[in-house]
Amino acid sequence: MKVSHLKSLGVVLLGTLIVTGVLLKTFGLIDISSDWFWLLAGLGLAIEGLISLKRQKRFDKRYKITKR
């Protein structure tokens, strides 16, 4: 499995974990601090940013995009 696929899978898993945690907290089944939610959200955003940056660099290299 390629690294980019693993990063994408990581974003999906973090998103699923966030949704599950929020639903469990909403229904009163667990009591967790919102700091954990923001930690997971931050990790998901960081991974998504890395994926986007890598894809943009690959696109620029492939199509020889130069700065204006």
In tens, the pLDDT along 17-44 reads 989 999 999 999 999 898 988 998 899 8
Residue 26 lies in a domain: yes
**Is residue 68, in this structure, part of any structural domain at all?**
no
State the residue range of the domain holding 39: 3-63
CA distances in angstroms from 29 to 14, 25, 34, 66, listed in the order given: 20, 6, 15, 54
Residue in this structure with the two tokens 């599950």, named with its chain if needed: 20
Say if 9 falls within a structural domain.
Answer: yes
pTM of the model: 0.70
Q: Are 30 and 24 in contact (CB under 8 A)?
A: yes
CB 7 within 8 A of CB 51: yes
| Count of structural domains, the chain | 1
Distance CA(32)–CA(37), nearest Å, equals 9
Q: Is residue 49 part of a domain?
A: yes
Q: Is it the case that residue 46 has pLDDT exceeding 70?
A: yes
